[in-house]
Every structure is written in structure tokens, then in C-alpha cells.
């Protein structure tokens, strides 16, 4: 007699490896911190008025 095998697979093994929450959050926070450290003048030199506007908006949203 053979042993019946389970008809469903385990969640993580079936969908592949999953990243922990901090593997996504920490790089995003580091990126935001670098943008804030550069300031609007650094963003303007790097890519123009649109990027400077985005960085300034992020600073206002995060710092108040």
C-alpha cells in the first residue's frame, strides 16, 4: 500500500521565496532620506524642475 500524498502544496514553496517587509521598506526609506539630504537644489541640478518639485513636495509632506 502506498501513502497518499497531499493534494495541495505549501504557500511559500509554491509561490517562490517571499521578501520580508524590511527588505522593501528600508531601501525606500534610504532613498527618501537621500532625496531629502540632497534638497531641492540638488534635485534641480540632477534632473530639472519636475524632480525638484517632487522632492520639495516630499519634504513638505514628511516634515510638515
Contact 54, 46 (CB under 8 A): no
Single out the residue of 45, 20, 43 nearest to residue 31, CA to CA: 43
Look at the pTM and tell me if it is higher than 0.75: no
Per-residue pLDDT of 41-58, as tens digits, reads 654 455 567 777 777 887
Residue 46, C-beta contacts closer than 8 angstroms, at least 6 positions apart? 38
Residue with cell 521578501: 19
What is the distance between the alpha carbons of residues 9 and 7, in angstroms, rounded to a whole number? Answer: 7
In the chain (64 residues long), the average pLDDT of successive 10-residue segments reads: 63 70 88 80 58 79 77
**Which pLDDT score, from 0 to 100, does residue 43 have?**
47
Amino acid at each position: 500500500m502506498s501513502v497518499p500524498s497531499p493534494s495541495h502544496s505549501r504557500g511559500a514553496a509554491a509561490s517562490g521565496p517571499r521578501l520580508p517587509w524590511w527588505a522593501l521598506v528600508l531601501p525606500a526609506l534610504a532613498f527618501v532620506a537621500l532625496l531629502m539630504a540632497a534638497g531641492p537644489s540638488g534635485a534641480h541640478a540632477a534632473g530639472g524642475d519636475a524632480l525638484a518639485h517632487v522632492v520639495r513636495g516630499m519634504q513638505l509632506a514628511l516634515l510638515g
